Structure formats: structure tokens, C-alpha cells
Structure 1
Amino acid sequence: MAHDAAFEAHEHAEHAEHAAHSQDPFISRVSITIAILAVMAAGVSSLETLEASGAITSASEAVLSQDKATDVWGEYEADSLKKHLYGLAADAGGAKAAQYQGTSKEQVAKQAELKKQAQDDEAERDKLLATSRIHEHRHHWLTAAATLVEIGIAICTVAIITRRRAFWLSSIGLGLAGLALFGAAYLL
């Protein structure tokens, strides 16, 4: 989100405290609801930011793992060419045929190590991409949760202005729905 949730929560709490001094029990209850929703909004927004950061970080690390795998696969291919060239040189015979045959076999062993390393890097990439998707999934749920809670705060303000209980109950419902989406972010 592009705003400072902690600052907004503090602002809403101050407005709620000011309204509570009116000595109207309804206004006091709505003011307390605003304060509770503001704290919820701040917490959910903070977690939303953390999940977005987690998604970006994991995706970036996945790109680095893929780059490492690509480099190792390039080395694997270069060694494959060397192996074939030394094999051809050994097949051609000559004074160094045995040496070329030995070098060709060394390349085979080196290739096995490189293949394992590249596959490990690709497995790490896949793991990081899965982690990024989990963070992104949570971020989407938390965005919806924060939005519902913030709308609930706005409707509480309407309840204070109009002194209508239906608006206050609606805001509580939106807060509960936001809380449900918060839970869904970590359970689904």
C-alpha cells in the first residue's frame, strides 16, 4: 500500500478518542470500533507489505539460481565439446592417442559433477519460485483484508455522522470479513 498504516491507525484512534468525549454511548461504541479496526488495518497492512517483499525477494533469488544453473549448463556443454574433440583425436591414433583418451574420460567425470550442480541449482530455483508464489498468494488475500477493514473504518465514520446503527453493524461485519480474509491468507 502507498500509505503509512501505523500513522493512519494513530490518526483514527485520535479521532475515536475525540468522538468518545461526546458522552453519547453510541458514539463511544463506534469510536472504539474505529480504534479496533484501525489497529487491525495497521497490522494487516504491515503483513501485506512483508508478504510482498517476500515474494519479490524469493523471485529475485530464483533468478539468481537460474543464472547459476545456466552458467553451469554452459560449462557442461563446453566440456561435452572438449570430450568429443579429445575422443576424435584419440581415435585418430598417434603418439598422444592414449593421453587424449584419458583427457576425454576426465571430461566425462567432470560433466557428471556439472550436471548434478546444474540440476541442484534448478531445484533451488523451483523451490524459491514456489516460495514466491506462496508469498504472493498471501499478499493478495491480505490486500483484500486490509481493504475491507479500511472500508469498515470509513463506514464507521458515516455511522457517527448519521447516528445510524446499521452503518456501525456493517462496519463490524466488514471488519470480521477482513479478519476472515486475513485467516484465509495463512490457511489456504
Structure 2
Amino acid sequence: MSGHGFHVHGPHDHELEHAAHGNDQFSSRIAVMTAIMATVGALIGYEGGATQNEAAMLKNSAAIKKTEAANKWNYYQAKSSKQNLAELAISLPGTDVEKYKADVERYKKEKEDIKKEAEGFEKEVLHLEEQSENALHQHHRWAQAMTAVQIAISLAAIALLTKKNWLQYGSYAVAAGGIVISGFAWFHL
């Protein structure tokens, strides 16, 4: 549309304008249903984005915990090396055997604690990765629902242009399918 009073409408815009100003029940029903579908689609899109972000955050947390577990296992290995050196020192002539025996026992105790911490981190990693996979599955359901709603809106536009009742009902059916799929997403199915 230009500032000089001349403007060009697309066919869809023209039909929507007539629907808004006329008494055409067919067009009015489709216009209202399209607005409802667009609103539902916006809500579904929001949920889809939220679950995608949640999946990414959980995967990131799992990676951080995995790094912490690896660090603990490296620390465990360092203590094992020190324990091995202390055990070797016990057999060398002229060393303080009691000191090295005490060191061996201390390293064994420290390794037990480190091992428990590392295994705890590994359990957290598995739990976070499982939660991330569940959130990603839920995101896929939301995306499927959003796709169905977008297809329903497109069918509604085609029904409006062609004035075909079967397309109108097809649009409603696809929108209902999208709502059913969003129910699956909502209930984590």
C-alpha cells in the first residue's frame, strides 16, 4: 500500500477484508477459527521453545557433571600413583617403613572417598541425560502439534479462498489432531 491512496491486496487479504465487512457466515466462521488456531499455535510454540531450552540446559548440566566426574577420577588416579610409590618405598632398604605404611593406608582411605564422589557425579550425569532426553521428546511432540496447527491454518486459508466446506472441516480436523498431540506433549507421552 502506498501513501497516495493506491494499494494492492493479495487474494487472501481481499477475502479476509470481505469476511470482516460482509455477512458471509462461512468466511466469518473460518476467520474466527483461524484466529483461535493462531492463538493455540502461539501457546504451543512457546511450550515447544521452553522444552527445547530445558533439554539444552539439562544436557549442558550433564556435560559439566561429566567433567567433574572425570576430574575426580583423575584425582583418584593420582592418589593411586602416590599409593604405589609409597608401597614401593616400603620395600626399599633404609626407608621409614612405618611412615610409608601410614601413607599407603591414608591413600587407600582418600581413594575410597574420591571414588564415591566420582561415582556420585556419574549417577548425576545419567539422571541429567535422561531428563534431557525426556524434555527433547516432549519438545518433538510440541513441534508436531505446532506443525499440525500451521497446516490447519493453511487449510483454512484455502477453504476461505475456494469456499469448500470439506476443506473447512479438514482444517478443523487437523487442528484437533494438533491439540491431541499437544495433550501428549503436556502429559509427557
Q: TM-score, normalised by structure 2?
A: 0.87
CA contact (8 A) 2:80 2:107 kept: yes
Structure 2: where are the runs of 5+ without partners?
1-14
Secondary structure, aligned partner of 1:53: helix
Q: Which residue of 1 aligns with 2:12?
A: none
CA gap of 1:27–1:55, structure 2 versus 1, over 3 A, is same
Q: Which residue of 2 aligns with 1:140?
A: 140
Shift of 1:22: 2.0
CA contact (8 A) 2:89 2:95 kept: no
Q: Which residue of 1 aligns with 2:9?
A: none
**Aligned residue identity for 1:62:** A
**Larger proportion of helix:** 1
Shift of 1:95: 4.4
Secondary structure, aligned partner of 1:137: helix
Distance 1:82 1:17 in 2: 82
Larger radius of gyration: 2
1:45-94, Cα deviation, whole Å (9 max, x unpaired): 11111111111111111011000000000000110111111012123353
**Aligned residue identity for 2:134:** I
RMSD: 1.8
Distance 1:16 1:39 in 2: 17
Secondary structure, aligned partner of 1:180: helix
Report percent identity of matched pairs: 28
Q: How many residues align?
A: 175
Distance 2:18 2:113 in 1: 70
CA contact (8 A) 1:69 1:122 kept: yes
**Aligned residue identity for 1:186:** W
Secondary structure, aligned partner of 2:22: coil
**Aligned residue identity for 1:180:** V
1:108-152, Cα deviation, whole Å (9 max, x unpaired): 010011001001111111111001001110111111110010110
Give 1:163-174 correspondences, 5 Å limit: 163-174=163-174
Distance 1:183 1:86 in 2: 63
CA contact (8 A) 1:30 1:156 kept: yes
CA contact (8 A) 2:155 2:168 kept: yes
Q: Which residue of 2 aligns with 1:12?
A: none
Give 1:86-97 correspondences, 5 Å limit: 86-97=86-97
Q: Which residue of 2 aligns with 1:76?
A: 76
Distance 1:116 1:16 in 2: 67
**Aligned residue identity for 2:121:** D
Shift of 1:102: 0.4
Q: Which residue of 1 aligns with 2:34?
A: 34
Q: Which residue of 2 aligns with 1:6?
A: none
CA gap of 1:17–1:125, structure 2 versus 1, over 3 A, is farther
CA gap of 1:18–1:88, structure 2 versus 1, over 3 A, is farther
Q: TM-score, normalised by structure 1?
A: 0.88
**Aligned residue identity for 1:173:** A
Q: Which residue of 1 aligns with 2:123?
A: 123
Q: Which residue of 2 aligns with 1:179?
A: 179
Distance 1:136 1:169 in 2: 32
Shift of 1:99: 0.6
Distance 1:95 1:138 in 2: 64
Distance 1:52 1:115 in 2: 34
